[in-house]
């Protein structure tokens, strides 16, 4: 059973930085996609960033390009999201997710919510202006 546990959320002022971590276990697929999603109060959950377990196919939502970086440490089974130049609109619950890679994805791991089947419980990020 896949387990994902996020950490690193907190409160930060606009313009600041945070690093989110997602510790994973139980992933048996050799090829899989990893992603970060967020959900702000009153809004639907949206994809932030995604990448392939091999390190490639990195994609970002337009709203975070140039500010957020997704990465992984395979030795630690940990996924990261480095966030900088934070804005108040980045305030949300952040979730990491994983799913087995499928050929239909055509080489791209995009943060489409419906593709991901394993989810963490989330970590809250609050950005004050």
pLDDT in the model for residue 46: 97
pLDDT in tens, 31-55: 999 999 999 999 999 999 999 998 8
Which of helix, strand or coil describes residue 105?
Answer: helix
pLDDT in the model for residue 57: 87
pLDDT in tens, 65-116: 999 999 999 999 999 999 999 999 999 999 999 999 999 998 899 999 999 9
Q: Can you tell me the distance from the alpha carbon of 123 to that of 95, in angstroms, rounded to the nearest whole number?
A: 7
pLDDT in the model for residue 98: 97
Nearest to 112 by CA among 57, 67, 50, 70: 50
pLDDT in the model for residue 51: 96
Q: Can you tell me the distance from the alpha carbon of 34 to that of 50, in angstroms, rounded to the nearest whole number?
A: 6
Mean pLDDT of 48-64: 94
Structure tokens at 104: 């239909």
Q: Can you tell me the distance from the alpha carbon of 112 to that of 116, in angstroms, rounded to the nearest whole number?
A: 7
| For residue 27, pLDDT beyond 90 | no
> If residue 128 lies in a helix (H) or strand (E), which one and from where to where?
strand 123-128
pLDDT in the model for residue 55: 87
**CB atoms closer than 10 angstroms to residue 37:** 24
pLDDT in the model for residue 69: 98
């Amino acid at each position: 059973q896949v387990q994902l546990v996020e950490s690193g959320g907190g409160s930060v002022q606009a313009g600041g930085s945070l690093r989110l971590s997602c510790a994973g276990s139980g992933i048996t697929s050799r090829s899989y996609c990893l992603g970060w999603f967020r959900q702000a109060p009153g809004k639907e959950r949206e994809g932030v960033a995604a990448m392939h377990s091999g390190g490639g196919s990195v994609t970002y939502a337009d709203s975070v390009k140039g500010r957020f970086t997704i990465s992984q440490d395979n030795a630690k089974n940990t996924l990261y999201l480095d966030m900088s130049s934070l804005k108040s609109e980045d305030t949300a619950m952040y979730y990491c997710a994983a799913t087995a890679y499928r050929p239909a994805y055509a080489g791209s791991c995009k943060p489409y919510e419906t593709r991901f089947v394993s989810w963490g419980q989330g970590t809250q990020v609050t950005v004050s202006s």
